[in-house]
Amino acid sequence: MDFQYLFELLCGGIVKGSIYALIALGYTMVYGIIQLINFAHGEVYMIGAFVAFIVAGVMTLSGYSGLTVLLLAAVVAVIYSAAYGYTLEKIAYRPLRNAPRLSPLISAIGASIFLMNYVQLAQTPDFLPFPELVPEFEFMAPIERYLSSADLVILIVTTLTMAALTVLIKYTRIGKAMRATQQDLVMARLVGINVDRVISATFIIGSVLAAIAGVLIASRTGQINAAIGFVAGIKAFTAAVLGGIGNVPGAVLGGLVLGIAETLGAGYISSAYEDVFAFALLVLILILRPAGLLGKAVKQKV
């Protein structure tokens, strides 16, 4: 057995999986609080990538390069996506808060299609080349076979982001309010938590994570188009279900498992079937462990 090859695949899988995890967190956090699958989440990620593309393009033209551009593009992308996520909830979901469960779900699908087409019309349906912003670090040369410089940046950023999220959920006032709302919505209101504000905050945080993921993936794959949100969204949703939807550590685990499974499948069997492995894994988990890897009692809600 070629262990070097296996290790190479594992590294690739972890990098990919950590990005899935970042997007999956947005699905899982929203679901945890309002039991809604926010199908438009993938589009928020795509918008993040597009905004970063535009900022990076302008900055590159004005002579900047490298990590400075990446950082600034990411910051602008995060702000844009957060605004989109916040607005999306206000317009597409809040008016349906007390409607039958199917209504917000359909609204989510509608919002997803709308945003994708909107970007397609406003920008272009074609693939656009995303500039290479991460320089080749010299110290990465010896292990470049396993991990490129861009991969290293991805791992560092995702790790830091998840650590920040953990601290936010565990220790801050809004984080505690989010947990309380997730665990008992009526009681949350009775202790004086403004549940609407908590829901808005959840959408904003999820969108920030998605935007970061969008910038990272765009700078790794080197190209974007208006449809990338669809595939990434479905993959990340798969990851969230895999880990147990509504469960925050589960989303991270699900993302990593999915990323690794895909890369191993592609590396050992055929890269043409990458997506097939992802969804086969989803079906398998749903049969064997319907609540997901870390999911507990199944709540009977759509």
Partner 1 sequence: MLEVRHIETFYGNIRALKNVSLSINEGEIVTLIGANGAGKSTTLMSICGVTPPRHGEILFRGEPIQALSAEKIVTLGICQVPEGRHIFPQMSVLENLEMGAYLRHDKAAIKSDIDEVFGRFPILEKRRQQAGGTLSGGEQQMLAISRALLARPALLLLDEPSLGLAPLIIKQIFEIIKKINDESNTTVFLVEQNANQALKIADRGYVMENGAITLEDRAENLLANDQVKKAYLGI
Distance CA(150)–CA(210), nearest Å, equals 18
Residue with tokens 């928020």: 44
Find the shortest distance in angstroms from Cβ 113 to partner 1: 32
From 96, 168, 180, 293, residue interacting with partner 1 (rule: CB under 8 A):
180
Q: In whole angstroms, how close is the CB of 29 to partner 1 at the nearest point?
A: 15
* Binder of partner 1 out of 15, 82, 162, 177 (CB under 8 A): 177
Site string for partner 1, 190-219 (x = CB under 8 A): xxxxx-------------------------
* Residue 186 contacts partner 1 per CB under 8 A: yes
Q: Which stretch binds partner 1 (CB under 8 A): 73-81, 126-134, 183-191, 255-263?
A: 183-191
| 44 close to 229: Cβ distance less than 8 angstroms | yes
Does residue 176 bind partner 1 (CB under 8 A)?
yes
Residues that bind partner 1 (rule: CB under 8 A) add up to a total of 15
- Of the pair 246, 265, the CB lying nearest partner 1 is at 246
Site string for partner 1, 135-174 (x = CB under 8 A): --------------------------------------x-
Task: Kindly indicate which of the ranges 36-44, 175-183, 217-225, 283-291 contains the residues binding partner 1, using the contact rule CB under 8 A.
Answer: 175-183
Q: Is 246 left (phi over 0), alpha (psi -120 to 50) or beta?
A: left
Window of 38-46, 105-113, 158-166, 186-194 that interacts with partner 1 by CB under 8 A? 186-194
Interacting residue ranges for partner 1, rule: CB under 8 A: 173, 176-177, 179-180, 183-184, 186-187, 189-194
